[in-house]
Amino acid sequence: MSFHDQKKLILAFHDALDTADAAGTGQIVEQFCAPDLLWRGFHPFHEIVGAKAVAETFWQPLKHGLKRMQNRTDIFFAGRNALTESDDVWVVSMGHLMGLFDAPWLGLPPTGKLAFLRYCAFYRVADGKITETAMYFDIPHLMVQAGLNPFPPQTAAHLVQPGPRTHDGLLMRDQPAAEGQKTLALINAMISDLGQWNSGLTLEEELARTWHDDMVWWGPEGIGATYTIPRYAKQHSGPFRAGFAERSKTRHICRMAEGHYGGFFGWPNFTAVPTGGFMGMPATGKPGEFRVIDIYRRAGDKLAENWIFIDLLHFWNQQGVDILSRTLRIGKP
């Protein structure tokens, strides 16, 4: 199955957004998206229905804040949703929206400097239009660039994250179907291990079943990026498992792969109850939703890199902590 036409549509959409000013963005979104577009975004946006509403609520304010914004794409692929029996085709784009942070956005103070907003988007394409979008973006990462500290010191590293080590993430041409099937099977195996938390193996042994030892986990602001299985276990996976109980079953809306790349998103992916310690926060006893996008690069028979987008603002808001408002109120350190 070829995804040429769907990829071409998304590339044209990106090009048109890059060249439009804030005022012209509405026309672009309405041109490429279905009128009843379903758009899912991180807190404080959540679900928006309608192309016109998406343009007015998200794209126009963002382009007003980040002047001369460019979409700098690091990973681009397409595929069928493996979770449905229909022929739903989705296109995935991941990278940074780069611009000059010259005007406030969401109340964040402009810096007058170059800024990067990490993002990943899943686009469902049907009948030549974008009908559904999951647009996940790392607002806390932008907050740090603006001199704000939304979270306690994180366990891993704060970085402007690069694309794949292999520099081959832009799959403009269709890939051999067998390669995508291998990637999807490996992701499924990893998800099966991840959903247990009681495999009988040590955490490092469990991770080694599906990950290379020199894996890189490109995590969100508030957690950070980490490298190698032992450091990933120490700096994220171990603390995360220790900080939560009652993890629900995994629920994804889309899971797909093409070539050596694949990923998924949910709304939410799962729920869990914080027992204390995660990100320096106390236990609340309240179940919280984790809205997540994961993107993977497979190398051979193991996973090598993982880019993660987690709506931490939404999760902590459910726990009674409005990170965005609190940080803006406190201001610069």
* Integer Cα distance of 213 and 227 in angstroms: 9
% of the chain with per-residue pLDDT over 90: 86
* Integer Cα distance of 158 and 136 in angstroms: 18
Return all residues near 185 (Cβ < 8 A) that are at least 6 apart.
none
Phi/psi at 207 (5° precision): -65, -35
The two tokens of residue 120 are 């990943």
The top-level CATH class assigned to 177-330 is alpha beta
The two tokens of residue 26 are 């509405």
Phi/psi at 73 (5° precision): -90, 130
Say yes or no to pLDDT of 327 above 50.
Answer: yes
Mean pLDDT of the chain: 95
Say yes or no to pLDDT of 194 above 80.
Answer: no
Q: How many helices (H) and strands (E) does the chain have?
A: 11, 15
- Residue 196: predicted pLDDT: 66
> Which residue, 174, 1, 167, is CA-closest to 77?
174
* Integer Cα distance of 208 and 230 in angstroms: 10
Band of pLDDT at residue 332, cut at 50, 70 and 90: very low
**Cα 180 to the chain's mean position, in Å?**
20
Query: Would you say 265 and 292 are in contact if contact means Cβ atoms under 8 Å apart?
Result: yes
Phi/psi at 284 (5° precision): -120, -25
The arithmetic mean of pLDDT across residues 49-54, rounded, is 98
* Integer Cα distance of 265 and 200 in angstroms: 28
Other beta carbons within 10 Å of 52: 15
4-145: CATH architecture: Roll (3.10)
* Integer Cα distance of 8 and 282 in angstroms: 47
% of the chain with per-residue pLDDT over 70: 98
* Integer Cα distance of 221 and 141 in angstroms: 5
Band of pLDDT at residue 333, cut at 50, 70 and 90: very low
* Integer Cα distance of 259 and 156 in angstroms: 29
CA distances from 255 to 49, 95, 146, 282 (A): 22, 19, 34, 33
Query: Would you say 97 and 74 are in contact if contact means Cβ atoms under 8 Å apart?
Result: no
The arithmetic mean of pLDDT across residues 35-55, rounded, is 98
Return all residues near 134 (Cβ < 8 A) that are at least 6 apart.
40, 41, 121, 122, 253, 254, 265, 267, 293
CA distances from 73 to 119, 130, 259, 283, 298 (A): 9, 18, 17, 38, 19
Say yes or no to pLDDT of 201 above 70.
Answer: yes
For the CA atoms of 57, 93, 240, 208, what is the dihedral angle to 10 degrees? 170
Per-residue pLDDT tens over the stretch 265-274: 999 999 999 9
Residue extent(s) of CATH 3.10.450.50 domains in the chain: 4-145, 177-330
